[in-house]
Amino acid sequence: MPRWLPRAMVLALALVAAFQLGSWAFHQVTGLLINILIAFFLALAIEPAVGWMASRGIRRGLAAFIVFIGVVIVSAGFVTLLGSILADQIIKMIEGFPEYLDSVINWINTHFRTDLKRVDIQEGVLRSDWLRNYVQNSATGVLDVSAQVLGGLFQLLTIGLFSFYFAADGPRLRRALCSVLPPARQAEVLRAWEIAVIKTGGYIYSRGLMALISGAAHFVLLQILGVPYAPVLAVWVGLVSQFIPTIGTYLAGALPMLIAFTVDPWYALWVLIFVVVYQQFENYVLQPKLTSKTVDIHPAVAFGSVIAGTALLGAVGALIAIPAIATLQAFLGAYVKRYDVTDDPRVHGHRWRGEGPGLIARTRRLWARRPGAEDPGRPENPEDPENPERPQDGGPWQGSS
C-alpha cells in the first residue's frame, strides 16, 4: 500500500464527515436564518425614518425604539379593533342563524317541493357521527394550536429583536463589515447597502400604494352594498392583502364576506366575485406597473421573482423577492459594460424603407403569379422574364430589342 493512501482515505472521510455535519447544522438553523433575513429587510424598510430622526439629533437607538413602538401600537390597535368587530358580527350571525336556516329551508321546499323542517335538520346534525368526531378532534388539537401560537409569538419576538438591533446598530454593523475589506471593496459594500435601502423603501411604498387602491375599491363596494364597518373592513383588506404574502388575499376577503353574509347571503357572493376579479386585475395589471415604477424592474421580472421566491422560501420569499432582485439588479448594473446602440430602424421594430418588398407588395405579386391572372401594375416589358404576357420567339415583339 502506498504511504499516501491511508492519509488520503482519512482526509476523504474527514471531508465527508465535515460536509454531513455542516449540512445537518444548516438545516437545524434554517428557521433562524430566515428570521434574520426577514429582520434585515424590515430594518432596511425603517432605515429612512430612523436615519431622519438621527439626523435631527436623536440617538439612533432611541429613534429605532420610537419607530418600533409606533408600529407595534398601530398594529395592536388595528388588530384589537378588528377583533371586537369580528366578535360582534359572529354573535349577531349566531343569533340570526335560525332565521337564515328557515329562509334556506323555505327556498328549498318551494323550488324542489320537499318537506324539510328545521327541527329535523338540527336533530340530524346533533346526532351525526361527523359532529362527534369533529368535537373530539377539536378537543385533542387544542394543545397543538396553543403550541403553534406560542411558536408564532416567539418567532415574531425574534424578528423584532433582530430588526431593532440592525436598525439601531446599522452604522456599527457597516463599520464592522468594512473593517475586514480593502478600501475598494468597502465602497462596493456601502453602495450595495444604500441601494438595498432605496429599493426596499420603494417596495414598501408600492405596497402601501396598492393597499390604498385596494382599500378604496373595496370600500366603494361595501358602501354600495350597505355592509357595516365598511371603512375598517376596507383598511383590513388593503393591508392584509398586500403585506401578508400567499394567503393574505384569502384572509383579506374572508372577513368582508363573513360580515356581508350577516346582512344578506347574496351580498357575500357579490363580495367574493369582486375580490376574485380585483385580484386578477391587481396581479396582472396594477402590481407589475407600480412595482416597475417604484422598484425600477421590469414587470415580467417582478412577477417571475415572486414565483421564484415563493418556490424557494415560501411566503417569506414572496415578500422579499422583489426588493432583493431590485437590489441585485441595480448593484450588478454598475459592472455591466454598455455600448451605444446604432441608429438602426430594426432596433425600433421596423425595416428600412425600400428594403425589399413589403407584405402587401409580396401578397400582390404572389396573387398575380397564379395561373391565368393578370397583374395590372406590371409594365408590359418584353425583357421582363417574369412577365407572363411576354410572347415567345416569332411573336409580334420579336426584334424590338
Instruction: Give me 150's grid cell.
Output: 406560542
Q: Is residue 52 part of a domain?
A: yes
How far apart are the C-alpha atoms of 34 and 343, rounded to whole Å?
48
Let me know whether 62 and 156 are in one domain. yes
Let me know whether 203 and 231 are in one domain. yes
Let me know whether 245 and 161 are in one domain. no
pLDDT of residue 367 exceeding 60, the answer is yes
pLDDT of residue 383 exceeding 60, the answer is no
Let me know whether 162 and 226 are in one domain. no
Let me know whether 235 and 165 are in one domain. no
Side chain identity, residue 290: L
Domain-ending residue, one of 278, 301, 336: 336
Query: For residue 235, how far is the Cα from the chain centroid?
Result: 19
Rg (CA), the chain: 35
Highest mean pLDDT among 33-47, 345-359, 369-383 belongs to 33-47
Percent of the chain beyond pLDDT 70?
74
Higher pLDDT, 84 or 176: 176
Q: Is residue 370 part of a domain?
A: no
pLDDT of residue 234 exceeding 50, the answer is yes
Higher pLDDT, 375 or 332: 332
Query: For residue 336, how far is the Cα from the chain centroid?
Result: 28
Q: Provide the pLDDT for residue 400.
A: 44
Number of structural domains in the chain: 2
pLDDT of residue 253 exceeding 80, the answer is yes
At 308, the pLDDT band (50, 70, 90 cuts) reads: confident
353 DSSP assignment:
T
pLDDT of residue 17 exceeding 80, the answer is yes
Let me know whether 197 and 73 are in one domain. no
Write the pLDDT tens digit of every residue in 210-228.
888 888 998 899 889 888 8
Q: Is residue 354 part of a domain?
A: no
Let me know whether 174 and 205 are in one domain. no
Q: Provide the pLDDT for residue 22.
A: 94
Let me know whether 196 and 168 are in one domain. no
Q: Is residue 242 part of a domain?
A: yes
Let me know whether 51 and 88 are in one domain. yes
Q: Could you tell me the residue range of the domain that residue 68 belongs to?
A: 32-116+152-180
* 192-196 own/partner pairs: CB under 8 Å, 24+ apart: 192/327, 192/331, 195/327, 195/330, 195/331, 196/44, 196/323, 196/327
Q: Is residue 21 part of a domain?
A: no
pLDDT of residue 26 exceeding 50, the answer is yes
Q: Provide the pLDDT for residue 181.
A: 84
Q: Is residue 307 part of a domain?
A: yes
Non-local (6+) Cβ contacts of 234 within 8 A are: 215, 216, 218, 219, 222
Instruction: Give me 353's grid cell.
Output: 424603407
At 395, the pLDDT band (50, 70, 90 cuts) reads: very low
How far apart are the C-alpha atoms of 251 and 79, rounded to whole Å?
13
Write the pLDDT tens digit of every residue in 76-115.
887 787 777 767 767 776 777 777 777 778 878 888 877 7
Higher pLDDT, 348 or 148: 148
Let me know whether 234 and 173 are in one domain. no
Q: Is residue 9 part of a domain?
A: no
Average pLDDT over residues 67-76: 86
pLDDT of residue 156 exceeding 60, the answer is yes
Task: Write down the pTM of the prediction.
Answer: 0.61
